[in-house]
Amino acid sequence: MLFIVVLVLMTAIELWLSLRQSRYVWRHRDAVPEAFKEQISLADHQKAANYTLAKGKVGRFENVFGMLVLLGWTFGGGLAVLSGLWAETGWSDMTIGIAFILSFFVISSIIDLPFSLYRTFKLEAEYGFNHSTLGLYFSDLLKQMVLMIAIGAPLLWGALWLMGSAGELWWLYLWAAWIGFTVLMMWAYPAFIAPIFNQFTPLEDQALKARVENLLSRCGFKSQGIFVMDGSRRSGHGNAYFTGLGSNKRIVFFDTLLKTLSEDQIEAVLAHELGHFRRKHVIKNMVVMAGLSLVSLALLGWAIAEPWFYQGLGVTTQSHAMALVLFMIVVPVFGFFMHPVMTALSRKYEYEADDYAASVSNGEDLIAALVALYQENASTLTPDPLVSAMYDSHPPATLRVAHLEGKTA
């Protein structure tokens, strides 16, 4: 009953917030905010509003559908049926457990496929952002499935082995293994996984490269290189980021970003990203996530031996694999109410990164870059304040620009 009540409450809040966002954006659709009137045209402002409204409409269908799918997996008997099918193979408990969990993920991806296709080839295409083809889309999907099995199978084997062999403190050992795996993936991702999906070529613009290297030197940041990613192959959205750990740290620019911003603006955006590095936001986020995962696994370690944990979620089969799947279903539902806390923390980090960028680069260039990116990505300048506080990892445009203007005044 607790799970059902929280799931329904979460869905109701999501729908209410989405409708609230739509009403707010619609009310402010016909006037560009005063701070942006010189940079953003009314046509672009209305395009961003329409894009936001369209995404909200699809999102509401996904919210309701997602709730029904969760109820189908649990009280509808979906997990019980899937577990029973694998049990009939006669394989070992370990093999059945791995197959059960992986098939759950595969089926979940297939269930979500219609929404993903609609977003990519209808919604994103309608607003000029989709550059992908069906062939590329399904090629990416196949690669993701292969990676999930190749990486997930041994990871699940280790998790299930620890759960069955490490005694009552298995959850602590599993937590340590998970943290180790996370760090390993952060190190390996830019060099071995990201290139499977995108091409990364060294930055060829020598003038821009010299400016970037000078900025990196001033900020004390050493990386493996400065790369341009072929983001335009799939989408018109632009971005920049740094990724990796240790010797595998990389600076990555989307090719769409390089076409949108001037050299001064690109340097300012990179200074913001380096601000996250200098203010140790990556490490702080890792510590927070490590603490949350430790608490979650400790709760699972307590609940795993309790019959009510399974029966209360609609299944009768008690197994380590079933416990993991139920855990992965339950955590996002209850974790939904942590969104405002995590969002507030993320916004704090964004302000700190902006402050750093203004101190080592030009704050006015960063403002110009942010406005250009809001325009290029059709991001609404008028989100509902409550909805933004709930979901948005970055502060709204008006607050962020006002904060930067205070630093550059």
Q: What is the CATH number of the domain that holds 249?
A: 3.30.2010.10
Q: How many CA atoms lie within 13 A of 350 on its CB side?
A: 19
Place of tokens 């619609």: 26
At residue 248, what is the residue type? N
In a domain, 335, yes or no: no
pLDDT band at 305 (very low <50, low <70, confident <90, very high): confident
CA distance 88 to 388: 48
Output the six-digit token pair for 278: 């200098």
CA 244 to chain CA mean position, Å:
16
DSSP assignment of 275-327? HHHHTTHHHHHHHHHHHHHHHHHHHHHHHTT-HHHHHTTT-----HHHHHHHH
DSSP state of 123: I
In a domain, 118, yes or no: no
In a domain, 347, yes or no: yes
Q: What is the pLDDT of residues 358-372, one digit of tens each?
A: 998 889 999 999 999
CA 75 to chain CA mean position, Å:
28
Report, as an integer, the average pLDDT of 291-308.
Answer: 92
User: Cβ(147)–Cβ(159) under 8 Å?
Assistant: no
Average confidence score pLDDT of the chain? 92
Helices (H), 130-224: 134-165, 170-188, 194-197, 206-219
In a domain, 370, yes or no: yes
Q: Write 185-190 long-range contacts (CB < 8 A, 24+).
A: 186/243, 186/244, 186/245, 187/244, 187/245, 187/246, 187/248, 188/248, 189/243, 189/244, 190/224, 190/243, 190/244, 190/248, 190/249, 190/250, 190/252
Q: ∠356-362-368 over CA atoms, to 5°? A: 110
Report, as an integer, the average pLDDT of 124-139.
Answer: 95
Q: What percent of the chain has pLDDT over 90?
A: 75
Closest Cα to residue 310, out of 296, 329, 297?
329
Q: Does residue 225 or residue 252 have the better pLDDT?
A: 252
Report, as an integer, the average pLDDT of 322-338.
Answer: 93
Residue 270 has pLDDT above 80, yes or no: yes
Phi, psi of 400 (to 5 degrees): -70, -45
DSSP state of 346: H
In a domain, 243, yes or no: yes
Residue span of the structural domain in which 223 resides:
197-282+342-408
In a domain, 310, yes or no: no
User: Cβ(227)–Cβ(200) under 8 Å?
Assistant: yes
CA distance 251 to 270: 8
Please tell me the least confidently modeled range out of 113-122, 152-161, 372-381.
372-381
In a domain, 323, yes or no: no
User: Cβ(227)–Cβ(244) under 8 Å?
Assistant: no
- Residue 18: exposed, middle, or buried by beta-carbon count in 10 A (0-12, 13-18, 19+)? buried
39 three-state secondary structure:
coil
The per-residue pLDDT for 54 is: 97
119 three-state secondary structure:
helix
Q: What is the pLDDT of residues 37-95, one digit of tens each?
A: 989 999 999 999 999 999 999 999 999 999 999 999 999 999 999 999 999 999 999 99
The per-residue pLDDT for 245 is: 74
Number of folded domains that form the chain: 1
Q: Give the predicted TM-score (pTM) of the model.
A: 0.91
Output the six-digit token pair for 348: 């704090």
Output the six-digit token pair for 207: 């003038």
CA distance 248 to 125: 35
In a domain, 238, yes or no: yes
